[in-house]
Amino acid sequence: MSIDILIVDDSITIRAMTKKALALSISDLGQVYEAENGILALARLAEKKVDLIITDLNMPRMDGLQLIEKIKRQPNLADIPIIVVSTDGSTERLSELEHQGIRGYLRKPFRPEQLKEILSEILETTYDHQTHNTDVGDF
């Protein structure tokens, strides 16, 4: 199966970097959708369900915490694995995210191989999907 992914981040630079890392990590990458805040992410999810969400926390209009809370309240979306990518690495925030049921966390700045490692674990356990065996150390 191909894996459709939604990237939510207000930085076009981070969305582009993440998209590139995804292409190098997932052997059968499907559609990669982008949204620059939580509101646009929910609008996208209303149109098309995805297999994985990668979201930032600090965004205008609707931040990542609010987005995760809304996703987890919707039965048709609640089971989508979520990876948080953020500069916030405080133990209190990590505990809060764990409580909300996120599947992975990456602190910015992150290396492509760190994203690949988290993707491997989530996709294999959730969809029995294999990631690329290639080195993603260099973009």
Residues that bind another protein (CB under 8 A): 10-14, 16-17, 20, 58, 60, 86-93, 107-109, 111, 139
The answer to whether 103 and 72 are in contact (CB under 8 A) is: no
Nearer Cβ to another protein (36/51): 36
Q: How far is the CB of 113 from another protein (least distance, A)?
A: 13
- What is the rounded CA–CA span in Å between residue 139 and residue 133? 15
Q: How far is the CB of 87 from another protein (least distance, A)?
A: 2
**Residue 59 host element (H or E):** none
Q: How far is the CB of 36 from another protein (least distance, A)?
A: 11
Nearer Cβ to another protein (74/134): 134
Nearer Cβ to another protein (6/24): 24
